[in-house]
Structure formats: structure tokens, C-alpha cells
Amino acid sequence: MKQSILSFLKNRSVAVKRILVSFLLLTITGSSFFLLGNCLGTSSSSPNSNISSVEGSDPIPAYHSRFGRKRPVIAVVGDNEYTELTDFVVPYGTLKEADIADVYALGTQFGKMKMFPALSIEIQNTMQSFDSLYPEGADYVIVPAMHNSENPEILLWLKKQSEKGATILGVCDGVWVLANAGLLQGHQATGHWFSLPKFDTKFPETKWIRNRRYVSDRKIITTTGVTASIPVSLALIEAIAGKKQAMKVAASLGAKDWKPTHKSADFYLGSSHILTAAKNLLAFWSQDEIGIPISEGMDEISLALVADSYSRTYKSTALSISNANVRSKRGLLFLPDKKEKKADRILENWDRDLPVIALNRTLLEISDLYDIRTAAFVALQIEYPWKKPELF
């Protein structure tokens, strides 16, 4: 994986090396973390940057039926070899909840799709089988972050879907996939805060936008980090079925709104984050398994948000527990990580709250279980504007 955000925040082997380097530098001089932070990327832009801090993009255009379809056709596509959990599950689950489109979860092949940073699902439709069902193409294609953002099979398929008139939506570092497919040339776009400097350097023909959770430009939609999957899904529902339906679904998620406004400057890799990651990783003897019992009809949106968060602490990894495969509330088939209900910590009532409330509760639990800086580090990775207590 070549992109910084994925290699640093999601690929543990590379992350360990970089954080250990920062830890050693910190022992030599108290100012070294500023140098390291600048190397990794911050919220600032170079003088020649093509990143704009001016808010502005088109609203997502209202849906207009094509090919005589009664409802739009939406494909959420991932790579079986590691696709970001929340990026994939939240749009799928939210759009299925709305019941305003025919929504398909696609992989590169049938069988197991490994998600990162946790869990696995069973893929029952592929890009090829989808093409057989809908040779005219999808109306919308949603692209989550993938470890291999240069998979030629996926890039070619996305190009063809775009040529057929589909609107392509890149969630978080799914934007790398769109950019590598050549779909962002001449467009405005945004991305995860950590990736924006890299995007600006590698793809100067794209106008990169800050201070927007999602940016719509003609038939291309892009978002900031992981949790932007919630507001952009609601915005897409509004574009398809109107504000009333979007409000109904938002209430079912515990979301107050889906405004695109965002404070990008609030997200940057600071010294406290580096120290927290180093401290948590170096305490390898106290890494926790967080067991999440799963059962038929569970809320996959809540599951994704909870498992994703617990697996980003650098102190713990979430594992699903069941003695059989489990069908979620909105139709995804989850493959359990273990059958026995044994772990360092079992989350018995993880499914009791609406998804956004579950995310907030999980961050508070992480704060209580570990510390406030660990919770803040998780929120930073998923680019979530968490209202946390003052750190200092």
C-alpha cells in the first residue's frame, strides 16, 4: 500500500516503525516530534498548494431515473483483500435502511472479504455478476478505502461504470481509488485530512477542498475521513428521495444532520497523538482482545463503528464472536472471528444504542478503559468531530 494514511494508520507493521522512530527522536530532543509531524503531513499547505480552504461545492444533484428504472441501482464495491470496514458497511446499511434503491455489496470475487481494521463478511455478488444483472451500469457506485488502491480490475470497472453514466462516490481513502482511476481530473474533491497533502502533490489537476465533509462535482462525490460515510449517505438519500426521507433515516441512526460543513484544521497529527500511539504499541504485553458477540438481525452499522473504533486504539483489536455465520439487519453476512465467548473484554450490550450514539459511547468507553488521549487518537483517525474534554 503506497498511500501515507493507509500505511501509517492502518498498516500496523509500517506504523510501528514510524512511531518507534518518533519515540526515539523524542528521547533525544523534545522538539523532534514537530519535525516528524511535518514529514508525515499536517493540516497546513505548501505555498504552491492546490488545496483550497474556501468552502464550496455543488449539492448532490437530484436523482433522475435512467433506463426506465423505478428505483436507482447502487453498488458498494470493495476488494476482497482488505476493505475499510466502516467505509463499506455504513453506506450500504444506511441506503438499505432508506429502502429507496436497489443496493448491492460487491467484491472482486465470491467468498470472504477481509475488512480492516477488523471483521470479515461473505461476498455474494461480484463486479462481474453485477454487470450481468445490469449491463447498462449502476446509477451510483460507492468506493471505500482499500489496501490496494491500484487494483487494475477495480480501476477498469470504475472507469467503465463512469463511462456508462454512474455517479462515483469515494469515501475516505476510497478517494485514492478514484484518483488512480483517473476519475478526478478536472474535478473538485476532498479526502482524509492525512492524505490531502499527498493528493495535492500527486494529482495537481484536481482542486482539493478543505472544510467540507463531502464535495460533489458533477458525477463525482468525495468525502473526508471514515465517519463522513454517515452524512454523505444521508445526503445521497436526500438527493434520491427528498429531505423528509433523509430525516427519517437520520433519526434511525441518531444523526442530527448531514451538513457538509467541516473544520479541517481540527484534524492534524500532533505530539500527543504520536506519544499515545508509541506508548500503546510499546505496551505489547497488554494488548486486549475485545470480543463482540454477534447474532441474527444485529445492526451492522453500529457493529462497524464499534469494531472500527476499538481496533484503532493500538491497544486492542475487536473480534466478532458466534458459533455460525450471522446475517445482519440489512442483509450482510458476517463471518465470526471466533466461536468461543472468550476475550479480554466482552461487549455484551454493544447493540443497545442507535449507531451514532454507539460511536460516542464507544469513544467514552475507550477513554475510561485506556485514557482520553487514546480516545482522541481514535477520533482523529476516523476524522470524527468528537466533543472531548480538554486534554491539558
Residue 81: inside a domain, yes or no? Answer: yes
Q: What is the mean pLDDT of residues 84-93?
A: 99
Q: Are strands 333-334 and 120-123 parallel, antiparallel or unpaired?
A: antiparallel
The pLDDT value recorded for residue 369 is 96
CATH number at residue 13: 3.40.50.880
Does the residue 266 lie in any domain? yes
Poorest-confidence range of 31-35, 67-71, 148-152, 356-360? Answer: 31-35
Q: Which of 342, 341, 343, 350 is nearest to 289 (CA)?
A: 343
3-state secondary structure of 2: coil
Mean pLDDT of 272-282: 93
Q: Give the pLDDT band of residue 283 (cuts 50, 70, 90).
A: confident
For residue range 115-153, what is the model confidence (pLDDT) as tens digits? 999 999 999 999 999 999 999 999 999 999 999 999 999
> What integer pLDDT is reported at residue 39 of this predicted model?
28
Q: Report the alpha-carbon distance of residue 243 to residue 246 in Å, rounded.
A: 5
Q: What is the pLDDT of residue 133?
A: 98
Phi, psi of 346 (to 5 degrees): -110, 125
Query: What local confidence, expressed as pLDDT, does residue 392 receive?
Result: 33
What's the structural domain count of the chain?
Answer: 1
Which residues neighbour 274 within 8 Å (Cβ) at sequence distance 6 or greater?
19, 22, 23, 26, 33, 36, 37
Residue 383 covered by a domain:
no
Work out the percent of the chain whose per-residue pLDDT is above 90: 82
- Residue 70, class by beta-carbon neighbours within 10 Å (0-12 exposed, 13-18 middle, 19+ buried)? exposed
Average pLDDT rounded to a whole number, residues 300-305: 99
* Predicted pLDDT of residue 141: 99
Nearest to 123 by CA among 160, 77, 74: 77
d(CA 186, CA 207): 7
- Compute the Cα dihedral for 306, 307, 310, 314 and give only its sign: negative
Average of pLDDT values for 364-371? 96
Residue 10 has pLDDT above 80, yes or no: no
Residue 36 in domain: yes
Q: Is residue 347 part of a domain?
A: no
pLDDT digits (tens, 9 = 90+) for 160-210: 999 999 999 999 999 999 999 999 999 999 999 999 999 999 999 999 999
Measuring CA to CA, how many Å separate 372 from each of 113, 303, 304, 369, 380?
Answer: 33, 22, 21, 9, 12
Domain extent for 226: 1-285+329-337
pLDDT of res. 286 = 79
pTM equals 0.87
Rounded mean pLDDT of 370-391? 87
- Most confident segment among 49-63, 311-325, 378-392: 311-325
So what's the pLDDT on residue 389?
53
